[in-house]
Structure 1
Amino acid sequence: MSTLGHLAAYYHGIHLAPLRDGHEVLHWRPRVPRFDRVRVREHTCECEPLTYEFCTAGGVAFIRRRRGEGKKITLRETEWLLTAEGERLWTAILTGWAC
């Protein structure tokens, strides 16, 4: 029986598809800590200075955008959405239909 542990060591996150013509431009808001704990369910690859995180807390979801490196990191968020709508938005970002 083989394991896939060796593959996990090389996995570093999802890469975004290129932006598509007619993509949705999202309104990114300053980070507002509304909950003590937020669960990051998925995230994009950290090999780029711009990453996205699909977050949930208290039955709602939002996308967090992290730009920069080191001490110069800027965090912005989408509005808080019902989880199903957050999942739709996450898929749109990953596939190049929103940024």
Structure 2
Amino acid sequence: MPDTGRTMYARVVEHTCDDCVPVSYELCAAGGLMFIRWTDRTGGGKPVVRETERLISSRAREMWRDLLLGLVR
């Protein structure tokens, strides 16, 4: 999903390497829910930012684990 701007501030709970690769992921928490933010810097211009839907923490952490294991994209 495109960045919705639903929350002004989100706490980054975990993240992948920002400096090593042009595509990075962040597990974020805001408003009692969690989501994954994807940032793509491959275009050379403004980074493309997308976010998953807001999920309860157990579902978001499950998705985060699957992402890190390469089971989801």
TM over 0.5: yes
Q: TM-score, normalised by structure 2?
A: 0.89
Aligned to 2:33: 60
The alignment's C-alpha RMSD in Å is 1.2
Aligned to 1:32: 4
Aligned to 1:94: 68
In the alignment, which of 40, 43, 48 is matched to residue 21 of structure 2?
A: 48
Structure 2 regions of 5+ residues with no counterpart? none
Moved over 4 A (4+): none
Aligned-pair identity in percent equals 41
State how far apart, in whole Å, the 2-side matches of 1:36 and 1:51 are. 20
Which structure is higher in RCO with an 8 Å CA cutoff and minimum separation 6? 1
Q: TM-score, normalised by structure 1?
A: 0.67
